Amino acid sequence: MPRAQYNVAVTFDRQRISSCNCTCSSSAHWCSHIVAVCLYRIHLPTQVCLRAPVSESLQRLRRDQLQKFAQYLISELPRQVLPTAQRILDELLSAQPNQINATCGAPDPTAGASAYEYTSWFLDEKTLHNNINKILVKFCVPAPIVFSDVNYLSTSAPPAAAEWSSLLRPLRGREPEGMWNLLSIVREMFKRNDRNAIPLLEIITEEVMACEQIIVWWYSTKAALVAWGGGTGGGKHGGGGGNSSAQHACSSLCDEVSVHTEINKVGK
């Protein structure tokens, strides 16, 4: 069975991917085909042909070559191009004043932004919002604790020791892992003076603040520390072993988001 082929278009501007799209049916802006093309370009840069912007190439063509270019383009993609081509021709040949005739020059999507414009990475904000929301919601849902060691069931460890181990587990592993990985990416982007760290940090902050359970846990943990002079915040504030561990993990996550926000303010 022949493999399906898709057309991938990736636009670069000053070492940044400013836009990308693929003809596949994936709803994500960064599909697997786009990622594969980017990795191919990184590892095999000499195998990818570098071309000048279309506007520069068109300037090098003679009048007869320009006519051939337009007609060949229409004949290659008649259904997609012909209606648009006919509409543009009607506007160019119109005796009435219109915008296309009054505008000097023409747009060139392959030329990138101007020298005075800041180019940012193409970010799929909607998908990122949804993925972060799923990570946070899943982490806040209470889950049963499963012990793989059968001998553990026969041990009689003090309840305080069991609760302490439950508290340390997410803190040692930096849970939820996906959120901490995103924050490490943000920190690295700040080190490189990459302005794209700001919109990424804004998305993370918005989703954390939108999760009511995380904010309640963060407040409860800080209130317990103040009331008990540095206590663990267990008992009635912690809500039990499993929930208490998630509570402290979420509190640490909120603290880390606050630290990154302060780094952003200092950088400004």
At residue 149, the pLDDT reads 55
Exposed / middle / buried, residue 264 (Cβ in 10 Å: 0-12, 13-18, 19+): middle
Q: With bands split at pLDDT 50, 70 and 90, how would you rate the model's confidence at 28?
A: confident
Q: With bands split at pLDDT 50, 70 and 90, how would you rate the model's confidence at 240?
A: very low
User: Is it the case that residue 34 has pLDDT exceeding 80?
Assistant: yes
Q: With bands split at pLDDT 50, 70 and 90, how would you rate the model's confidence at 154?
A: low
At residue 162, the pLDDT reads 61
- Among the listed residues 263, 265, 258, the one whose alpha carbon sits nearest the alpha carbon of residue 190: 263
Mean pLDDT of the chain: 78
Cα 32 to Cα 261: distance, rounded to the nearest angstrom: 32
Q: With bands split at pLDDT 50, 70 and 90, how would you rate the model's confidence at 168?
A: low
- Among the listed residues 127, 125, 118, 129, the one whose alpha carbon sits nearest the alpha carbon of residue 16: 118
pLDDT tens for each residue of 182-213: 999 888 888 887 777 888 899 999 999 999 88
Cα 37 to Cα 32: distance, rounded to the nearest angstrom: 9
